[in-house]
Chains A and B, each alone.
Chain A
């Protein structure tokens, strides 16, 4: 006679089945809740080039030396060349300025007009840059960031321009230091 013995698999504990079911419901609830979108857009997202005004100094041999931060007494108007749009109008006693940067231009050309009691002076500043589109989150607006590759200018009233921070982004750090010729020179 054949001996046939059937072994049953281990019986599932009812309480554990309950825990699996309960846990599954909790898991789905938690998962659904955590799947909800949250909007993490930054509040401060202005992308502007930050300029600081400085007085230039010259050593005895005529070499450039960095001077101190100053407030420019002349009235300064800054115009974007090419589109003839005034970016800053009649600045007086300012120690710096924040200006927009073109989204797609390789070089921004800015005309500085200085009005003083003894006349009017002009300088042109050329900023070469790389433009980088930036999107933090699809629910937030996109912006353009920039990386300054070089700057140069005419030298009527502007002595030297230095790049202090080449990345123009949300940080708001001072990007360019403009050294003006002072009356003592």
Chain B
């Protein structure tokens, strides 16, 4: 009997050989493996939004993502999320409410040339969201001269926004097919359309409404 300590897992067969026999085993060459284009698919979710929601934050983005690994270098990715906000002004009692989906598509590029499971990413995203939002206040708005009042209650205002993101992140294998990683993102609003009453305080999937924003994810991925 012979023990062949270098056989791949896939070839766990029973061999009957006599002493003195020669057994040839063909192992996949490293170069052959690296020539593959499709390396797999992974799905995952962002923990930041869940943590923010669990701690009662006035806004959160909860998202899931799916991505394809091409040559362990290119990672086309699709991100879908739900943005929620219930924000009250600092000194006044105006309130902004929104709950809407958002979408991002883009690609990460792994700049770690070693195929050791650790990845250092730079990437880009295009994001968009079509959403409704409320601007309300329990206090009516009073005309100081004519002394007339009207409730400040504007619901289902329509808004939309498009933006671009640049991404920098790290990722590593936690256990077998489970991966963890984080990224930070610079965001640049390309265009927005808002309701006549006023702009949204927050754009789902983007950040607080401004020309630029920041963001990031702390993600857990499962390799399929």
Contact = CB atoms under 8 A, between A and B. Distances in A.
Interface of A: 1-7, 9-10, 12-13, 16-17, 19-20, 23-24, 27, 30-31, 34-35, 37, 39, 80, 82-83, 85, 87, 100, 102-105, 132-142, 144
Contact of B6 (A5, A34, A37, A39): A5
Contact of A20 (B94, B116, B148, B180): B180
Nearest to A17: B172
Chain A interface main SS type = loop
Interface stretch (B36-44, B76-84, B102-110, B194-202): B194-202
Given A1-B1, A5-B7, A142 B172 contact: no
B15 A135 contact: no
A144 B141 contact: yes
A138 B4 CA distance: 71
Contact of B170 (A16, A83, A135): A16
Nearest to A39: B90
B60 to A, nearest CB: 11
B223 to A, nearest CB: 11
A44 to B, nearest CB: 17
Contact of B8 (A1, A2, A7, A139): A7
A19 B116 contact: no
Nearest to A28: B218
A127 to B, nearest CB: 13
21 contacts: A3-B12, A5-B6, A5-B7, A6-B9, A13-B116, A16-B118, A16-B170, A16-B172, A23-B170, A24-B218, A27-B182, A27-B216, A103-B146, A104-B148, A105-B146, A132-B196, A138-B201, A139-B89, A141-B92, A142-B198, A144-B143
B173 A10 contact: yes
A27 B15 contact: no
A144 B13 CA distance: 80
A105 to B, nearest CB: 7
Contact of A133 (B3, B12, B96, B197): B197
A80 B118 contact: no
Contacts of A4: 12
Contacts of A35: 57
Contact of B152 (A16, A80, A133): A133
Q: Most chain-B Cβ atoms within 10 A of its Cβ — which of A13, A100, A135?
A: A135
B173 A102 contact: no
Given A5-B7, A135-B198, A80 B182 contact: no
B5 interface: yes
B14 A1 contact: yes
A102 to B, nearest CB: 4
Contacts of A6: 9
A85 B141 contact: no
A142 B146 contact: no
Contact of A12 (B13, B96, B117, B218): B117
A16 B182 CA distance: 12
Contacts of B87: 138
B18 interface: no
